Every structure is written in structure tokens, then in C-alpha cells.
Amino acid sequence: MYRIRLFATRHSRSFEWLYQRFEAVMVALDPLFEKIGYNRVERPVALIERGVKGLLFDCKMCGQCVLSSTGMSCPMNCPKELRNGPCGGVREGGFCEVKPLMRCVWVQAWDGASQMRGRDRILQVLPPVDRRLKGSSAWLRASREKAIALRAHRIAGLDADRLALANAFPQARQIEPTSAPLAPEPPRAQGKSDQ
Ligand code: SF4
């Protein structure tokens, strides 16, 4: 596994690309996940995530994946679980103070990040780990948050368009408000059932 982990950081750019495509697929599946229920899909997705990321990155399923900010080197493999850079004990040659045969995950992270498009992400300070999320699917959480943000953006965009139209035709609105309606569309008009 350790070798595969090193391979992943050496090919961080390819993994970054793959991850972006994968996230797009997960976001596209959001309506399906909503229908089935995120609670129901959590377990199987977390199982797959554990298997795939365990193999590729020695993932510890912290639930708040930061691989794209750490050059595809999982910081939870640091014996001190440091999330924001190495401690002061990195040995010569970039080896870990606690496990002398292992390369410091932050040395790996720096190498990996330098090949990635989002190379500056490693400079961002990451929040501490929330242990309550351990074991949960970071894939699902990240894609769900993105889907929610996209939906909100779309709705905000619709409202702005509607407002612009209403402002552009104030007289027409006075005579016939539905010509440039301001009221939100009912769910049925958007193809949703109103329950
Ligand atoms: S950061 Fe967390 S979720 Fe991502 S690979 Fe490491 S342990 Fe797994």
C-alpha cells in the first residue's frame, strides 16, 4: 500500500483530473441520491470509498478529505496527524521522525501539490479534524454540498433574471403582471410534485 501511496503523489496531476471528473458524476447523481435518500446511500458509498481510497492513499476515512489540497498525500498517515504542514522533526532525505522508513507525508504532499493545477491550495490553512465525521463518506458530503450550492446559484440566477425582466417592462407589468412575473414558480411548473 505504501508504494501505491507514493505512486499517487507522483501522479497527483492525473488523480486531480480524475477526481474532478468523478466529482462531476457524483454531483450529477444528486437527484437520484435525493430520491433514494442520502442516509440510505451513505453506507454503501462509504464502503466503496474506504476500499478505493484505502488502496490508493492509505485513507483513514476521516470524513473530511483534503487530498486535493495536500498533493494527494493523506495527512492522516502522519503519525501526529498534522493537517497543516510537517512538524520540526523531518529527517534528512525527507523521512519521518517517528517512522524513519516512511517519507514524511508533508514532504510527499509538497511534491504532489507542485504538480497540480491547484498547487496553491496547499498554502491554505485547514481546519482541525472533526472526529464526529470519522467513517463517513467525504465523497458524498462534498458532492452533496456542491449540488446544493449549484441549486441555490441557479435559483438565485432565476430570481435575478425575473427581476431584470420585471424592471425592464414596468408598464407592461402594470397592465399585465404575468407578462413579467415576479412571483416564484409553483413546484408543478418546475416539474416537481407539490406535496
Ligand atoms: S484526508 Fe481523510 S478522507 Fe482523505 S484520504 Fe486522508 S483519511 Fe481519507
With a 6 Å cutoff on the Cβ, whether 8 touches ligand 1 is no
pLDDT (0 to 100) of residue 1? 82
* pLDDT tens figures, 72-126: 999 999 999 999 999 999 999 999 999 999 999 999 999 999 999 999 999 989 8
In the chain, where are the structural domains located? 2-138, 147-190
pTM over 0.95? The answer is no
- Using the mean position of ligand 1's atoms as its centre, give its distance from the Cα of residue 150 in Å: 25
Distance CA 104, CA 95 (A): 5
- CB atoms inside a 10 Å sphere around CB 34: 12
Distance CA 168, CA 140 (A): 42
Would you say residue 21 has pLDDT above 90? yes
Instruction: Decide which of 98 and 181 is more confident.
Output: 98
- Using the mean position of ligand 1's atoms as its centre, give its distance from the Cα of residue 13 in Å: 18
